Amino acid sequence: MKKKLALLLAGVMTLSAFAGCGSDSGKSDGKDPEQVSSINEDGELEGDITFWHSFTQGGRLDTIQAAADKFMDEHPKVNIKIETFSWNDFYTKWTTGLASGNVPDMSTALVGHVVEMINSDALIPLNDLIDEIGRDKFSENALNEGTVDGNNYSIPLYSHAMVMWVRKDLLEQNNLEVPATWDELYEAAKTLTKDGVYGLSFPCGSNDFQATNFLNFYVRSGGGSLLNDDLTANLTSDLAIEGINYWLKVYNDCSPKDSVNYDVLDQATLYYQGKTAFDFNSGFQIGGVEQNSPDLLQYVDCYPIPTIDGSEQKGITTSNQPIVVWKNSKHPDICKEFIKTLYEEENYLDFLASQPVGMLPSVAGIEELDAYKSNETIQQFQHAEEVIASQIPGGTAIGFEHGPNLQAGLLVNQHVIEEMFQDIITNGTDVETAAKAAEEELNTLFEAAVQ
């Protein structure tokens, strides 16, 4: 009996190896759903919609729920079911859900995901919604990130930009200026690497895209790109090789060796705890420091990411967090109506105030409102808010400097660049050899995805 039971268990466990890879798929996912009228005989909105979002932190979660509750109060025949996932789970959820038709009516997304969704014919255009809210209120860059053939498939909810975070107290104690060039940053980081503090951690864990992010900072600041104009990978240009060598130098001289395995949370935690003097992140950095080391909050500030020659930086990596409506939705009208209410002044200000400075408005004019400016954190970090706001218009998501493209999302999500850095650091592989191999690997993957 025991043997039979064990055999059964062993069989089940062995078979379970399949579970992660089984995936249902029709040959086409872009089926037209059975859309029904969302307006009943009494002229009221009626229907159930599901909203997936990734605002897992308390404040944002609550404000979105409050907006949904308010909408349901105003439209008693509407039911909005909110489901929350972390970004990683979200990606798994929608890619598998798309195949089986198990996707929501509306959702948040990452910019790279939106392109993949458009490529899978999974979204509906939101041009009418954007026009209704006011097309001129949104930045052109932000709208372009979800635009294909004149159709706007996403609408930006909030924006942020990557900037350089500094510890003012450490700079002052060491008579250092805020670095404006990469060389100055290296020298400052090297000087500050002492007494249990590291100047700047260089993260290249292979389950995140931090090294891609950092290399992109360097290459974009020099006017280059990690993608060529024909959307092939470019890791072997002089600028890219210079960037790789720069970050290796930082890793060797200014970074904890453990950072070879760091993901974004590991990286940010060091700064939150006062263990690094510099870091690159968005305004969410403030909330992290506030929670982990409130005493350090007064010493935290941000500046534009350095450039190679010290020229003015106008933004590198911007994130305009989009909302999309899925083609599978039976009630796109309800989704659009609900989305519209998220931009109503009261709802929008509440939402932004749940992560002040972390989430900046994607809609023009909000930043001028007293209710927005009077937020305590925004007042305290006025300089940081101004710096981030100044960087948003000039930046794009990684690879989107070439417009929306599938390769940009793959460049970020494949972790090939992280593995390249690990190979160089751990195995001592020659930089140019590793860069060429990574470039070829990326191009092979690009070809497989866009065939």
Partner 1 sequence: MLPAIIVVCALFLYPICSSIFYSFTNKNLIRPTYRFVGFDNYATILTDKSFWNAFLNSLKWTVFSLIGQLLVGFTAALALNRVKHLKGAYKTLLIIPWAFPSIVIAFSWKWILNGVYGILPNLLVQMGFCNEPPQFLTEKTLAFIVLVLINVWFGAPMIMVNVLSALQTVPQDQYEAAEIDGAKKWQSFLYITVPHIKVVMGLLVVLRTVWIFNNFDIIYLITGGGPAGSTQTVPVYAYDMGWGTKLLGQSSAVTVLLFIFMMAVCIGYFAVIGHWEKEDK
Residues that bind partner 1 (CB under 8 A): 2-3, 6-7, 9-25, 27-30, 91-92, 95, 116, 119-121, 198, 205-208, 256-258, 260-261, 263, 266, 269-270, 273, 275, 406, 410, 413-415, 418-419, 422-423, 425-427, 445, 448-449, 451
Q: How far apart are CA 117 and CA 93, in angstroms?
A: 13
- Four-point Cα dihedral 19, 20, 24, 25, nearest 10: -160
**Vertex 372 angle, CA 370 and 375, to 5°:** 100
Pairing of strands 155-161, 360-361: antiparallel
Nearer to partner 1, 27 or 149 (CB): 27
Coil/strand/helix, residue 375: coil
- Give the nearest distance from C-beta 187 to partner 1 in angstroms: 22
Q: How far apart are CA 446 and CA 424, in angstroms?
A: 23
Nearer to partner 1, 145 or 418 (CB): 418
Q: How far apart are CA 436 and CA 442, in angstroms?
A: 10
Nearer to partner 1, 179 or 205 (CB): 205
Nearer to partner 1, 25 or 40 (CB): 25
- Give the nearest distance from C-beta 72 to partner 1 in angstroms: 34
Nearer to partner 1, 72 or 445 (CB): 445
- Give the nearest distance from C-beta 198 to partner 1 in angstroms: 7
* The two three-digit tokens of residue 45, written as one number: 């909105």
Kindly report the backbone phi and psi dihedral angles of residue 233, in degrees, each rounded to the nearest multiple of 5, phi listed first.
Answer: -70, 150
- Give the nearest distance from C-beta 188 to partner 1 in angstroms: 19
Nearer to partner 1, 19 or 36 (CB): 19
Cα separation values, 16 from 19, 23, 88, 95, 277, Å:
5, 14, 21, 20, 46
Cα separation values, 169 from 175, 176, 196, 261, Å:
10, 10, 15, 29
- Whether the CB-CB separation of 306 and 185 falls below 8 Å is answered with yes
- Give the nearest distance from C-beta 328 to partner 1 in angstroms: 14
Nearer to partner 1, 244 or 342 (CB): 244
- Give the nearest distance from C-beta 419 to partner 1 in angstroms: 7
Least Cα distance to 270 among 257, 419, 423, 283 occurs for 257
**Amino acid letter at 62?**
D
Across 228-265, b (16+ Cβ under 10 Å) vs e yields eeebebbbbbebbbebbebbbbbbebbbbeebbebbee
Radius of gyration (Cα) for the chain, nearest Å? Answer: 23
Nearer to partner 1, 17 or 36 (CB): 17
Nearer to partner 1, 263 or 290 (CB): 263
Q: Which letter does DSSP use for residue 137 in this model?
A: G
Nearer to partner 1, 121 or 184 (CB): 121
Nearer to partner 1, 35 or 429 (CB): 429
- Give the nearest distance from C-beta 20 to partner 1 in angstroms: 6
Cα separation values, 299 from 109, 175, 251, 284, 381, Å:
33, 15, 24, 16, 11
Cα separation values, 307 from 107, 313, 391, Å:
36, 7, 13
- Give the nearest distance from C-beta 346 to partner 1 in angstroms: 38
- Whether the CB-CB separation of 14 and 309 falls below 8 Å is answered with no
- Give the nearest distance from C-beta 195 to partner 1 in angstroms: 13
- Give the nearest distance from C-beta 441 to partner 1 in angstroms: 9
- Give the nearest distance from C-beta 207 to partner 1 in angstroms: 3
Q: In what order do the strands lie in the sheet with 78-84?
A: 78-84, 47-53, 106-108, 318-325, 155-161, 360-361
Q: What is the 3-state secondary structure (H, E, C) of 28-48?
A: CCCCCCCCCCCECCCCCECEE
